[in-house]
Amino acid sequence: MQALISPDGATVTAVVLHGRAASNPQLGSTVPGNLTVMTFSAATGQPLSVLYQRRLVGTARANTAPGFLALSQDATGQYFLLNVGPCTGDCGAGVSGWIHDGRLVRLQPANGLDADEAW
């Protein structure tokens, strides 16, 4: 899916899709049921921490999950930016924002709707 290596090369941060498949009947697509953003040791591959996790029920733009994920860092390297794409179920119009203290701080454009494309 998406993975980023830290500037010092010590850790890898990745978006991991896992769990029983969840269907989106409105779009006729199926995605893994859960999304987790976590860090791993680059040297050993061992998990280090979970930064964010959520269920993906109702989240689908295409028939395959990798088509709508984007993970990047902001210019300062302080925050991870996540765009999961639009939701048709229980998560509003979209899931785009930055990860802070285990939660996604959603972007709110001027019109008050969630941004489907964050950057």
Q: Got the DSSP string for the chain?
A: -EEEE-TTSSEEEEEEEEEEEEEETTTTEEEEEEEEEEEEETTT--EEEEEEEEE-TTB-SSSSGGGG-EEEE-TTSS-EEEEEE-BSSTTTT-EEEEEETTEEEE---TTSSPPS---
Q: Where are the domains of the chain?
A: 2-106
pLDDT 10s digits, 52-107? 998 776 554 444 444 467 888 888 888 898 887 655 555 554 567 889 999 988 87
pLDDT 10s digits, 10-28? 999 999 888 877 665 665 5
Q: What's this model's pTM, rounded to 2 decimal places?
A: 0.74
Query: What confidence tier does 40 reach under pLDDT thresholds 50, 70, 90?
Result: very high
